[in-house]
Structure 1
Amino acid sequence: MSIGLLGFQSTIASAISLKGIGVHSGTEVTLNFLPAEADSGIVFHRLHENGSVTELKAVSSQVGNTDLCTVLGVQADRSIATIEHVMAAIYALGIDNLVIEVDGAEMPIMDGSSEPFIDAINQVGIRNLRAKRRYIRVIKPVRIEAGASWAEFRPHHGTRFEVEIDFDSPLIGRQGWQGELTAESFTTELSRARTFGFMRDVEKLWAAGFALGSSLENSVVISDDDTVINMEGLRYADEFGRHKTLDAVGDLALAGAQFIGCYRSYRGGHKLNSNALKALLNDPTAYEIVEAPRRETNARAREFVAVNEPGFAPWAAEV
């Protein structure tokens, strides 16, 4: 069954606590997932040392920098970085409402994939709520281009990703992932794909004060002679393309609602994903808000009913 077709909102069954290293700061970060009520959405709470809290909704309008990762918030002392791996797990499992507490400026990188978050959520389970879930259904193509890169949304009866990368590296080359996104397909085919980088770039980032927590335990590192440095090798033969798909899932989760449609991209990244999502949401003729019909209609799972609520905008947030 495609994700988001159950028709009702959900949250986690009980609280979760994780610890890990921030990939850029190199310092330990504590992360808490807390259940939330219906219509709360996904909300991040950055906990400061003085006891104050910065609240950031996980929506497109709150996205700041997208150069090295996806960041919520604009001010450095009131933002949260590297949210894409967490958001991908949340989105793929169909969780609509959640409070995410973090006591630092970035999410823990864990092993560089979404698998630790998937495992943690599956251990406590997901609880359905009584409120109906609304979806963003793509009804006409929306496309953006940036040099040789492009991304587009197209109408589709499920939730599908077609992501392709093209690197000037014999090890990576042209590869990607195509398929219907379900909790099962994400867990088995995408969640374990790790972030990656070239050793020459990592050294530059270290010199600039970034990637201080990056290591072979949380990243696939490619040497100057185009080989994988990690002793265990790759988890998938095409792990690079799968990880870029994982990133795209996390970036598009900032729509603030599950979407029904196909997302396609070529040579994309966080910035392209973010700009494509904004292009879709900025065109009210390109999508409609729908919800699953009542059970007594005996409608098929893929039939949805348009919701006549022009003010409904899950991706919007007060600034």
Structure 2
Amino acid sequence: MGFGLQEYQTSLAARATLSGIGVHSGKPVTVHFHPADADSGVIFQVTGADGSVRELRALHSEVGSTDLCTVLGDPGGPHVATVEHLMAALFGLGIDNVLIELDGGEVPILDGSAAPFVEAFEQAGIEELSVKRRYLRIIKPIRVENGPSWAEFRPYNGTRFEVEIDFSSPAIGRQIFAGDLSASMFRRDIARARTFGFMKDVERLWAAGYALGSSLENSVVIGDDNRVINMGGLRYDNEFARHKVLDAMGDLALAGARFIGCFRSYRGGHKLNATALRRLLADPTAFEIVETSRRQRGRAVEMMAVNSPAYAPWTL
């Protein structure tokens, strides 16, 4: 169907479970993924230390922090941290509705990429539902800047990412990844790209209470000699740029709907991604809500604008 768009909403066909540790908390956590009805969206159920359960919807309006990772809820209260890799997997595979139960306040880091989530979801199966999927189609450019960094949405006949990074470290340097999103592209080109960091920053992060679960098993680490110290090396030549694309997908999934357009950024990160998304959704002249419609004759598919229902994520 035209440029890889899915006509109907999806969910998981069966339950899936993953366990690991939080990259920042260092604490063990188990997460269960359950099928959900159409129009449910992505809902986190977080169990607190006192046994209470708090529901958090995976929406931009729930973002409580973007320091080092994306946090839903109040960082000082009920919350779920480091949601970006999980959200990227849902976004990349086109899974619209899922209920996620956690027994901790952080999504497990696993191997530092989205690949374990992809494997779990594909083993559970992805089921098509009977309700049409709605998209946000970008109809005018929206741009945000922060010093030399910038991010923008532009109209495009598909869902495309163009992400460029520029680090002083020669181990990274200037890298770019650009591509049109499809499930196969995500599996092949993005899902396995791991989070990364510098050995010189570790003690500072530990002192601040971050990266307590970080290791060579879940991060690409650049040593003091500006070389990757992981024994296996990199999974892609430009793995750093690809991981930034993965993070952007996870952050932009918090729109509550897939977008039709091109997202571009230079020296971006979670905070800039969130700012760009807020700016987009705050301007109703910058996008329209559409769904697919098959023409009566032939097999062609076109997009039609629809009225936004009261429960639409972007109205919250």
Alignment of 1:182-261 (within 5 A): 182-261=182-261
Q: Which amino acid aligns with 1:14?
A: A
Instruction: State whether structure 2 residue 41 is matched by structure 1 residue 27.
Output: no
Alignment of 1:104-119 (within 5 A): 104-119=104-119
**Conserved? CA contact 1:3–1:94, under 8 Å:** no
**Conserved? CA contact 1:2–1:181, under 8 Å:** no
Q: CA deviation at 1:165?
A: 0.4
* Structure 1 residues 96 and 297: alpha-carbon distance in aligned structure 2, compared to 1, 3 A threshold: farther
Aligned to 1:305: 304
More strand by percentage: 2
Q: Secondary structure in 1 aligned to 2:99? A: strand
What TM-score do the two structures reach when normalised by structure 1?
0.96
Q: Secondary structure in 2 aligned to 1:304? A: strand
Q: Which amino acid aligns with 1:96?
A: D
Aligned-pair Cα RMSD in Å: 1.5
* Structure 1 residues 283 and 59: alpha-carbon distance in aligned structure 2, compared to 1, 3 A threshold: same
Aligned residues: 316
**Conserved? CA contact 1:77–1:105, under 8 Å:** no
Q: Which amino acid aligns with 2:290?
A: V
- Counterpart-to-counterpart distance in 1, 2:40 and 2:146: 34
Aligned to 2:178: 178
- Counterpart-to-counterpart distance in 2, 1:191 and 1:4: 18
Q: Secondary structure in 1 aligned to 2:176? A: strand
**Conserved? CA contact 2:294–2:300, under 8 Å:** no
Q: CA deviation at 1:51?
A: 2.8
Aligned to 2:57: 57
Q: CA deviation at 1:309?
A: 3.1
Aligned to 2:149: 149
Instruction: State whether structure 2 residue 277 is matched by structure 1 residue 314.
Output: no
Aligned to 2:39: 39
- Counterpart-to-counterpart distance in 1, 2:2 and 2:274: 23
Aligned to 1:92: 92
Q: Give ranges in structure 2 of 5+ residues lacking alignment.
A: none
- Counterpart-to-counterpart distance in 1, 2:53 and 2:251: 24
Q: Which amino acid aligns with 2:109?
A: I
Aligned to 1:79: 79
Q: Secondary structure in 1 aligned to 2:152? A: strand
**Conserved? CA contact 1:4–1:94, under 8 Å:** no
**Conserved? CA contact 1:45–1:100, under 8 Å:** yes
Q: CA deviation at 1:312?
A: 5.9
Q: Which amino acid aligns with 1:244?
A: K
Q: Secondary structure in 2 aligned to 1:263? A: strand
Superposed CA deviations along residues 238-258 of structure 1, whole A, max 9, x for unmatched, are: 110000010000000001001
